[in-house]
Structure 1
Amino acid sequence: MIIVFQNILYNFFISLGVMLGGCVFGALAATLNGHPPLKAMLDLCDKIKIWAVVVALGGTFTSFQVFDTGIFNGEFKSIIKQVIYIVSALGGAQLAYKLIYYFEGSGRL
């Protein structure tokens, strides 16, 4: 059970880090290219959100394998764990999304 909680934290913070790091470094690249960094940051924020979740889960194929095993072999506990992992990764990505919009000044937490 402890491993489940560890994986939840890993998924949350990995997706948070992918979003924040990708957007910040993308804004740096936009600055070096002479483009507005805040606009680039917000554009990237929308584009990489789902990829942050995929990275946190370790790729999409393992998620599909768990669903396949759970549905066809009756292992519903593994499906529930996988759904919790996905929600955790989505939560980290959404928190980063909200933080970026908050720091940019166009949104509220």
Structure 2
Amino acid sequence: MTSSISFTANLLIDFFVSMGMVLGGSLLGGLGALLFHTPPLSVMVRLSEDLKIWAMVATLGGTMDTLKVLESGFLKRDLVPVGRQITYLAVAFIGCQLGALLIRWLASDSEISWL
């Protein structure tokens, strides 16, 4: 993460990037399924689940920087960077989950279960 952007702005950007990658990839994958006469809704749901981990990794810019900050923070007993990285991970995860939930809601005929 760049230091010129505030912590809150980074959280918001990470949330929308991870959610957008899941939504965009699933919707465009559904469009591709239409072109090949494959059921688009089932393809979209499958893609939304498959893309979650990749969206998190891409949102955080790769896992090595995150792991390096976590390791150095624990070893030096400096827990502020560790807390920030864990918060970035959590927010990216929530964005991915919300994107997948929206795709499942779009693909379903009935109300979606929140559990």
TM-score range for the pair, normalised by the shorter chain length: over 0.9
Q: 2:47 aligned with 1:39, yes or no?
A: no
SS at match of 2:6: helix
Q: 2:75 aligned with 1:72, yes or no?
A: yes
Runs of 4+ in structure 1 off by over 2 angstroms are 106-109
- Could you tell me the percent identity over the aligned residues? 35
Which residue of the partner structure matches residue 48 of structure 1? 51
Aligned residues: 108
Which residue of the partner structure matches residue 8 of structure 2? 5
State the TM-score, normalized to the length of structure 2.
0.88
Which residue of the partner structure matches residue 97 of structure 1? 100
Tell me how far apart the structure 2 counterparts of residues 61 and 20 of structure 1 sit (CA, whole Å): 25
SS at match of 1:48: helix
Q: Which runs of 5+ in 1 are unaligned?
A: none
For the aligned residue pairs, the C-alpha RMSD in angstroms reads: 1.3
CA shift, 1:102, in A, is 0.9
Q: Which runs of 5+ in 2 are unaligned?
A: none
Greater Cα offset, 80-89 or 32-41: 32-41
Tell me how far apart the structure 1 counterparts of residues 29 and 62 of structure 2 sit (CA, whole Å): 22
CA shift, 1:68, in A, is 1.3
More helix by percentage? 1
